[in-house]
Amino acid sequence: MPADVKTGPGARPATLQGSVFVFQSEQDRIEAIDKAFDYRGDVTLQVAGQPVEGYIFNRDAAARPPRIELFVKDSDEPRIIPYADIESIAFTGRDTADGKSWDAWVNKKAEQRQAEAERLAAEAAARGHL
């Protein structure tokens, strides 16, 4: 994780929403870009001293130079930005995946299975099989 990560007020640890990644090394930049690509919300990139807000929909670490593709907020055209031009990343948009974690899914499925087992047991008892 990048060495200088600041989390805004009210941000929960389960989400990156409100976090700002300021890079201390190239590895920090790569890790932060990977996290931003996986993030299900808008980010604000600092590029050449200017903020660029949008949704990262593609990244190509193997390209020369490595780059991301961003749907820029309030624009019809996606923008390509080289990794090296990104000075920092702020997770500014609402994380649409927040609260929809694997654990939540597992718990929901367990509840559904329990309800189904109870329904089947009641039907079997009504038929006299239990």
User: Mean pLDDT for the chain?
Assistant: 86
Q: Tell me: pLDDT of 8 over 50.
A: no
Asked if the model's pLDDT at residue 6 lies above 80, the reply is: no
| Edge-to-edge strand list for the sheet holding 86-90 | 4-7, 19-22, 86-90, 43-47, 50-60, 67-72, 78-82
Q: At 123, which helix (H) or strand (E)?
A: helix 102-127
| % of the chain surpassing 70 pLDDT | 85
What is the DSSP secondary structure assignment for residue 10, as one 8-state letter?
T
Distance linking the first and last C-alpha atoms of the chain: 56
The secondary structure element, H or E, covering residue 44 is: strand 43-47
CB 89 within 8 A of CB 51: no
Phi, psi of 115 (to 5 degrees): -65, -40
Instruction: Output the six-digit token pair for 113.
Output: 């299975």
Residue labelled with tokens 């190239």: 26
Give the pTM.
Answer: 0.64
- CA dist 28 and 88 (Å) reads 10
Q: How confident is the model at residue 105 (pLDDT cuts 50, 70, 90)?
A: confident
